[in-house]
Structure 1
Amino acid sequence: MAQVYGYVRVSSIDQNEERQIVELSKRNVLSKNIYIDKQSGKSFERPQYKKLVRKLKQGDLLYILSIDRLGRNYLEIQEQWRILTKEKGIDICVIDMPLLDTRNGKDLMGTFIADLVLQILSFVAQNERENIRKRQAQGIAVAKAKGIKFGRPEIALPENFGELVHEWEKKRLPISEVLEVCKMSEATFYRKLREYRLLKQK
């Protein structure tokens, strides 16, 4: 008996997959048949997707919210679509683009339209990602030129840092107390201590 599946991918652990899951639930995809991958932007390892592909059988139906869930670039999206529809023999429904529903138009014209739409959309998806990366790079370059610093804000040393270090070195003050006063972790304390000593040497 044919099964209905859903695939969800978010590009970082901070992104919320809820919207994709809600859309799949509206189409009666059982929660046990929803496969979710969370990953960083740099990595494209998709263990759940690979597991899903192994499970898919001819005649099954797969829902995805948008075409870029299938890959990170034009060629990869095309290749995954080919594997799923031609090799595995399943149907795919792209929720955000009703034209990309392989259940419709099984004739030559329907297949041609779906393939054409797929090529256009996967190209647009890749192009948009590249534009976003360019805008981010430009934004960072402008911000750096204005002196804006990225990353965690530097922890300021307390005015009596030298005194605290002296007392700690003389074993008159436990490290736990020094860390509490300085409001920093042990790793940060030792890093700041190295910087402090280098400054004292100059």
Structure 2
Amino acid sequence: MDKFGYVRVSSTDQNEDRQLLELQRLKIPKRNIYIDKQSGKNFNRPRYIELLKTLEKGDILYVKSIDRLGRNYKEILKQWQILTKEMEVDIVVIDMPLLDTRTAKDLLGTFIADIVLQVLSFVAQNERENIKRRQEEGIKAAKLRGVEFGRPVIKPPANFQFLVKQWKQGKISADDVAKKSKMSISTFYRRLRELRISTH
């Protein structure tokens, strides 16, 4: 029987220290702690997949909270079933003592744990959808204020048509035009196409 820990943060700029401290407090070996830095919308995560391959019957998996495991209601329930029933691994959700499969072995305990799991899984997905909605609303509001997203558009210089004319006459190379226009060669050809369209 081995102890394992799973840590998940939604993006590379989020900090996993709080989760790691909890797992270290429980004396889980560093080699047995698996960390993913990506969304909890599904379980297609490299370190989680590795963890599944490593876990054996009788092992204990610790997670700080249910939303660290995932944020997709159906997927959380499915993975819980795979881990506890098919693989016969125990799960301990540190922030929710009722979700400790080591203690909830009888019918009543299993029933209570299942209800708590379903409620928390629903809350986790609902929060993910709320975050997504707030992000979309924020982007929409920013666009209305004139904030532009994506790469900044490189505008051709005032003498761009003159440079193109020189290029067509073979006086300068395409690289020279791109350098003088402070743009990449691919951007130069794209601007050239746009110029042709607008002059036809």
> Shorter-chain-normalised TM-score: which range?
0.7 to 0.9
The one-letter code sitting in structure 2 at the alignment partner of 1:123 is F
- In the alignment, what sits opposite 1:6? 5
Correspondence 1:78 to 2:77: yes
Q: In the aligned structure 1, how far is the partner of 2:95 from the partner of 2:49?
A: 23
Distance in 1 of aligned mates of 2:149 and 2:117: 38
3-state SS of 1:121 partner: helix
5 Å-filtered alignment, 1:31-180, equals 31-39=30-38, 45-180=44-179
Deviation at 1:137, TM superposition (A): 3.0
* Matched pairs, number: 200
Secondary structure at the aligned position of 2:100 is classed as coil
Partner residue in 2 for 1:196: 195
Q: Is the 8 A contact 2:42 2:75 kept in 1?
A: no
CA displacement 1:86-120 (0-9 Å, x = unmatched) = 22222212234343233345444443332222111
Cα distance in 1 for residues equivalent to 2:104 and 2:36: 31
Q: What secondary structure, in the 3-state scheme, does the structure 1 residue paired with 2:61 have?
A: strand
Ranges in structure 1 where 5+ consecutive residues have no aligned partner: none
Partner SS for 2:151: coil
Q: 2-side partners of 1:11 and 1:26: how far apart?
A: 23
For the structure 1 residues 88 and 44, does the alpha-carbon distance in structure 2 shift closer, same or farther, using more than 3 Å as the test? closer
Counterpart amino acid of 1:74? Y
Query: Could you tell me how far apart the structure 1 residues matched to 2:143 and 2:159 are?
Result: 32
> If the length of structure 2 is used for normalisation, what is the TM-score?
0.80
Letter in 1 for 2:110: T
**Further displaced range: 69-78 or 104-113:** 104-113
Contact 1:70/1:81 (CA < 8 Å) preserved in 2? no
Note the residue ranges of structure 2 that are not aligned, 5 or more in a row.
Answer: none
Give the partner amino acid of 2:122: F
Query: How much is the aligned-residue C-alpha RMSD, in angstroms?
Result: 2.9
Letter of the 1:154 partner, please give it: V
Q: Distance in 1 between matches of 2:90 and 2:43?
A: 24
Partners in 2 of 1:13 and 1:68 — Cα distance?
17
CA distance in 2, matches of 1:179, 1:43: 44
Q: Which moved more, 1:19-28 or 1:182-191?
A: 19-28
Letter of the 2:48 counterpart: Y
- State the identity %: 60
Q: Distance in 1 between matches of 2:198 and 2:42?
A: 40
SS at match of 1:62: strand
